[in-house]
Amino acid sequence: MRIRSVDRKYAVLLASALAILVAPDIARAQGYPSKFDFGTPASSQDIAAVVAIAIGPDGRNLPPGKGDYAAGKIIYANACSACHGANLQGVAGLRDMPAGASLRLIGGRGTLTTKNPVMTVESYWPYATTLFDYVRRAMPFNAPGSLSADEIYAVSAYILAEGNIIDKTIVLDAQTLPRVQMPNRDGFIPDPRPELFK
Ligand code: HEC
């Protein structure tokens, strides 16, 4: 029984590999170009603009401003809950979302080493500063860049407090946010292959 199921797995793998190999030929036969001619290479200015707002784990580059749970709760309700849910558990069945999109923001602690890890800001992310960086770049999904620094500090405070990582009374700013200790801070190990980083 066991041998047969392994055989079947290899057959599926082989079929997938073949499908990938012949896919370009099929696309060409159907009149599609092998290379799509859109987009432009990122200029050094483009790259500099992205790097300029990158925030380090130590809080480097965090902008001035501040926000707390109470203010964040209102921002969350207005700008985030439609997709991430009133309880921060994510809304099921949204259309046009990226495959594998993780809409659940809290919960899942202690599941990362189980068969069904639940990866959320609370359970997985090692640095609180990443929350500010990510929300500033990418959220709300339908209007990235629309929140002020104060609003992003506030909504970060709301998410971190709802995840029981910080107290609801804490005011987040460029000094306090980097000091937040995330539950999975020590859950990552350095890659032991130095040859990859030469
Ligand atoms: C229109 C739907 C929508 C709204 C509104 C929205 N988000 Fe998101 N959010 C998403 C989607 C989709 C993803 C996953 C994106 C991906 O994986 O590429 C996401 C991902 C995230 C993540 C990363 C989750 C993870 O573990 O990877 C955070 C944090 C987040 N959103 C915060 C916010 C905040 C804060 C707001 C409000 C200011 C907000 N989002 C508003 C759709 C939304």
CB atoms within 10 A of CB 140: 18
Ligand 1 center to residue 141 CA distance, Å?
6
Report the C-alpha gap between 178 and 130 in whole angstroms.
Answer: 9
The model carries a pTM of: 0.81
Ligand 1 center to residue 76 CA distance, Å?
11
Phi-psi region of 103 (alpha: psi -120 to 50; beta: other; left: phi over 0): alpha
What whole-number percentage of the chain has pLDDT above 90? 65
Tell me which of 55, 73, 80, 122 to substitute to probe ligand 1's pocket, judged by most ligand atoms within 8 Å of the beta carbon: 80
CB 82 within 8 A of CB 65: no
84 in contact with ligand 1, CB cutoff 6 A: yes
130 in contact with ligand 1, CB cutoff 6 A: no
CB 139 within 8 A of CB 156: no
Closest CA to 88 of 73, 71, 75, 105: 105
Answer with the residue of higher pLDDT: 137 or 8: 137
105 in contact with ligand 1, CB cutoff 6 A: yes
CB atoms within 10 A of CB 176: 16
For residue 65, give both structure tokens.
Answer: 């401003």
Q: Is the pLDDT of residue 1 over 70?
A: no
Structural Rg of the chain based on CA atoms = 22
104 in contact with ligand 1, CB cutoff 6 A: no
Determine the pLDDT at residue 194: 82
Taking CA atoms only, the protein residue closest to ligand 1 atom 26 is 120
Q: Is the pLDDT of residue 122 over 60?
A: yes
What whole-number percentage of the chain has pLDDT above 70? 88
Ligand 1 center to residue 101 CA distance, Å?
8
Answer with the residue of higher pLDDT: 77 or 49: 77
Ligand 1 center to residue 80 CA distance, Å?
7
Q: Is the pLDDT of residue 113 over 90?
A: yes
- pLDDT, one tens digit per residue, over 17-59 is 666 667 767 777 777 777 777 889 999 999 998 888 899 999 9
Report the C-alpha gap between 141 and 121 in whole angstroms.
Answer: 16
Closest CA to 80 of 171, 33, 125, 142: 142
Mean pLDDT of the chain: 88
For residue 48, give both structure tokens.
Answer: 């500099």
Ligand 1 center to residue 142 CA distance, Å?
9
- pLDDT, one tens digit per residue, over 138-176 is 999 999 999 999 999 999 999 999 999 999 999 999 999
Ligand 1 center to residue 34 CA distance, Å?
33
CB 79 within 8 A of CB 140: yes
Ligand 1 center to residue 50 CA distance, Å?
19
Q: Is the pLDDT of residue 7 over 70?
A: no
Determine the pLDDT at residue 24: 67
Please state the atom number of ligand 1 nearest to the C-alpha of residue 119: 26
* Dihedral Cα 17, 22, 23, 29, nearest 10 deg: -170
